[in-house]
Amino acid sequence: MLGLVVSALGTILFYPAANTGSFALMLSGLFIVGLGFSLQQTVANPLAIALGPEKTGSQRLTLAGGINNFGTTIGPLIVSFAIFGSATNPDTTASIESVKIPYLCLGAAFLLVAIF
């Protein structure tokens, strides 16, 4: 839960960063989101083993790793669609304001999952 809340705090920093046009604040938000992901990853492996019989723990870890890799692949594509409207069109330009809503929605999703 702590990792999700830390990640949510990082996403919330994108709003003032977009308002002020501060690269340092945006970079800080990304760092805090990454810190939250690191906290989640640190806890996920022992949790996956503890969720069932210890004998099949390695299978659950492998499945969790595969799901994590899928999320690492599909996540940036979803965010690029949310911000730019396309994942591959280099002619698309977006203002810094376009990061506000996607990252606020992402932060809300992190908080909802933490509460759940």
pLDDT at 28 (0 to 100): 93
pLDDT at 94 (0 to 100): 63
CB 10 within 8 A of CB 39: no
Structural domain boundaries in the chain: 2-115
pLDDT at 12 (0 to 100): 92
Residue 5, exposed/middle/buried by CB under 10 A (0-12, 13-18, 19+)?
middle
Q: In a structure prediction context, what are the per-residue pLDDT tens digits for the chain, which is 116 residues long?
A: 888 999 999 999 989 998 888 889 989 998 999 999 888 888 878 888 888 888 888 888 888 888 888 888 887 788 777 777 765 665 556 677 777 888 888 899 999 999 99
